[in-house]
Amino acid sequence: MRLPKSASPGHPLPMSTSTMRKGRDQVQSPSHYTRWAIEPIVYIMQNGMEFWRGNVVKYVSRAGSKVYDGQNATQSEITDLKKAIRYCEMRINQLNGKEPQNDK
């Protein structure tokens, strides 16, 4: 398929198949989750995990493989591990009778 070299307003150039696939993969199967034999979302859903527990699985699973903008790999891994810890802390607070507060 030959693509035009330029496009007019309202008529953008079509994305290449590889570009569309890359965008789709980042949404449906990002590499920081697909490195495992079972993707975290599949594991979470098949086991009927609660929201907090699913998030712990998600953040621990991707720690060390997703790099955030403005952070290096080590900083990004620490960020994901802190997120997992935060969900554990929220659950502990809930078990101790302290419900989350809506700060808005």
- Residue 39 within any structural domain of the chain: yes
Take residue 55 and report the two structure tokens written for it: 């998030």
Give the tens place of pLDDT for each residue, 15-54: 333 343 455 565 566 667 677 789 999 999 999 999 999 9
3-class state of residue 15 by DSSP: coil
Do the Cβ atoms of 83 and 55 come closer than 8 Å?
yes
Give the tens place of pLDDT for each residue, 70-98: 999 999 999 999 999 999 999 999 999 99
What are the distances in angstroms from CA 74 to CA 10, 35, 58, 93, 95?
42, 18, 18, 28, 32
User: Structural domain tally of the chain?
Assistant: 1
Domain boundaries, position 61: 34-95
- Residue 1 within any structural domain of the chain: no
Q: The pTM is what?
A: 0.66
3-class state of residue 100 by DSSP: coil
